[in-house]
Amino acid sequence: MCGIVGAVAQRDVVGVLTEGLRRLEYRGYDSCGVAVLQHGAPRRVRSVERVANLADQVQEASLSGTIGVAHTRWATHGAPVTDNAHPIFSRDEIALVHNGIIENHEPLRDELKALGYVFESDTDTEVIAHLIHHTREQDPSRDLLTAVQRALQRLRGAYAIAVFAKNEPDRVIGARAGSPLVIGVGERGNYLASDAMALSGTAEHFIFLEEGDIAVLSCDGVHIVDRDGATVRREVQAQHTSHYAAELGPYRHYMQKEIFEQPDVVADATERVRSITPALFGPNAQRAFSEIDSLLLLACGTSYYSALTAKYWLESIAGIPTQVEIASEYRYRESVVNPCAMVVVVSQSGETADTLAALKHAQELGHHHTLAICNVPHSSMMRLTELQYLTGAGPEIGVASTKAFTTQLVALFLLALTLGKERGHVSADDEARALRQLHHLPAALNSVLALEPQIVSWAEALARKDHALFLGRGVHYPIALEGALKLKEISYVHAEAYPAGELKHGPLAIVTNEMPVITIAPNDALLEKLKSNIQEVRARGGQLYVLADAGTKIESRDGVRVIQLPEHYGPLSPILHVVPLQLLAYHTACARGTDVDKPRNLAKSVTVE
């Protein structure tokens, strides 16, 4: 989704701005732009091409300046054309970039038009720029901070902005309300961005703004006021450096790199766990866990599927009633509130608008026990919840989530063990066995990754198809859902997933000899049932692609292709079975020549509704 970078320094900031945009590219965008104050006036370059092209254009235009703002835009209001790209100007005096959506932009637009403002874009952003300009004109002091404060009071919606004005050449102002914004504190300048990663290499210390904060950045320092206009001090935090650098290295795509990082990130997540204790979820977890009688897991997309997998674990291992709901549904429906249910939000980014809103909604309804399972340390969800678990997968750049998913599963499995132990369902032997399995997971993942050549041959066949059906049973049903999501997201092959027991209730009608049916067939208690489902598919000519494991005893034959995972992994089997499905989606997408890391119409972090 949209990305913001801003800078004020004792040197030319154009390089910092374009490099920041480059680091934000992974989030998805359809246009980009940079503006600086040059020779006393805002100048900008905007493009509907990639950031690299923008950087060339910036050079050709000899753009330079010591204050500036930059943006990658993911279109919401107005088509992805240059006129709608940010920075947006107001009367060549105000330059502004914006993430989020202004809900009351229409009446404001009418009001500003009546005041003589001419709109040059279809964006809601232009309303903010003109509103700040107009408010500033009304104020004899012409103070940008005062104008921003007053203008923002009139906005409804969620946003983060960065803005500078022609007559205040020493400052950039940033504000957040619903969209993240972080300040990078440097020695010879100060910076801001919607994601700390944009500033890595530029700043070493960060201030994470709170909701409603407005920050004035100059070379001399950062001055922050809260939503009431009172000066506030926010903690300056040293940079969280992840050793999973956001560089591509020898891989063709970030998604491939991230799939192959899974043994390492899972090792990081499991090696430090020597015993199962509530402290894994923070210092207050013991008390909170003792006060709950059930769980409500809220998430979107891939994170929803990890939550769905966890339901099987939480109910079977911990014996705790667990509900899982898509965040965008939960936030708008009337639900029956059980204040003793702990709300668990699962999110890679910690900023997904629907999940965040669902969390706030749950809190308003009276859920005071909340836990975030999240991959971004200072994200909104991590800051709004009572308990936190950092999945520690490192930056995930590919839009399609992979390593974030497997580390979420590890976290949720640990949650099931912890609650199980607290509730007397997990014995010392159970705990020791589970820890042994967790510690062996990285090695098991490596042996699954070694199956890649076999998966490539499946992908070559799948790349020629328009549809695919995924089947799983029990705890592997959500893994089938995740496999189908991965495939459609990046290869654009239409894919659906069903619990295999549902076949006869409808989906069997679409099975013909043209239909690839990818079936997850671990050697678990449901295997015999699944084998009958496989027969049903084969009898209709369906082309079976079976992911078996040790002891499954399904052989390859005409119309049935089998890849056998080396081990059966008991309850943790979903963490192994998802990996071939990630690779299958990846190689199918490569064979179809799609933009794997930036699939069409999708963004990495969905910060708008």
303 binds ligand F6R (CB under 6 A): yes
Number of residues this chain uses to bind ligand F6R (CB under 6 A): 15
Min CB(589)–ligand F6R separation in Å? 12
Q: Known catalytic residues?
A: 2, 604
Q: Which residue is nearest to ligand F6R (CB)?
A: 301
Contact 453/274 with Cβ under 8 angstroms?
A: no
Min CB(115)–ligand F6R separation in Å? 39
Binding residue for ligand F6R, selected from 261, 452, 489, 549, defined by CB under 6 A:
489
Contact region with ligand F6R (CB under 6 A), list: 108-116, 186-194, 297-305, 551-559: 297-305
348 binds ligand F6R (CB under 6 A): yes
DSSP SS3 for 182: strand
Distance CA 289, CA 425 (A): 14
Binding residue for ligand F6R, selected from 401, 406, 533, 573, defined by CB under 6 A:
401
Min CB(562)–ligand F6R separation in Å? 27
Write the DSSP string, 432-459. Answer: HHHHHHHHHHHHHHHHHHTTHHHHHHHH
355 binds ligand F6R (CB under 6 A): yes
Residue 489 is inside which H or E element, if any? helix 477-491
Contact 491/588 with Cβ under 8 angstroms?
A: yes
Binding mask 250-289 for ligand F6R (x = CB under 6 A): ----------------------------------------
379 binds ligand F6R (CB under 6 A): no
Contact region with ligand F6R (CB under 6 A), list: 349-357, 435-443, 469-477, 562-570: 349-357
Residue 146 is inside which H or E element, if any? helix 144-153
Distance CA 481, CA 490 (A): 15
Binding residue for ligand F6R, selected from 58, 606, 607, 608, defined by CB under 6 A:
606
Binding residue for ligand F6R, selected from 31, 123, 125, 302, defined by CB under 6 A:
302
From the list 49, 56, 74, the residue with the least C-alpha distance to 14 is 56
From the list 546, 556, 553, 555, the residue with the least C-alpha distance to 584 is 546
Contact 112/88 with Cβ under 8 angstroms?
A: no
Min CB(486)–ligand F6R separation in Å? 6
Burial per residue of 303-324, b for 16 or more beta-carbon CB atoms within 10 angstroms, e otherwise: bbbbbbbbbbbbeebbebebbb
Distance CA 395, CA 28 (A): 15
Which segments of 318-422 does DSSP mark as H helices, in order? 327-330, 353-365, 380-384, 403-422
605 binds ligand F6R (CB under 6 A): yes
Binding residue for ligand F6R, selected from 400, 417, 480, 544, defined by CB under 6 A:
400
596's CB contacts (< 8 A; 6+ apart) are 253, 255, 256, 398, 400, 490, 586, 589, 590
491 binds ligand F6R (CB under 6 A): no
Contact region with ligand F6R (CB under 6 A), list: 32-40, 215-223, 341-349, 424-432: 341-349
Task: Label residue 451 exposed, middle or buried (CB < 10 Å: 0-12, 13-18, 19+).
Answer: middle
Min CB(369)–ligand F6R separation in Å? 20
Q: Which is closer to ligand F6R, CB of 278 or CB of 478?
A: 478
Binding residue for ligand F6R, selected from 347, 370, 407, 552, defined by CB under 6 A:
347
Q: Which is closer to ligand F6R, CB of 392 or CB of 420?
A: 392
- The three-point CA angle 526-530-534 to 5° equals 170
**Interface with ligand F6R by CB under 6 A: which residues?**
300-303, 347-349, 352, 355, 400-401, 485, 489, 605-606
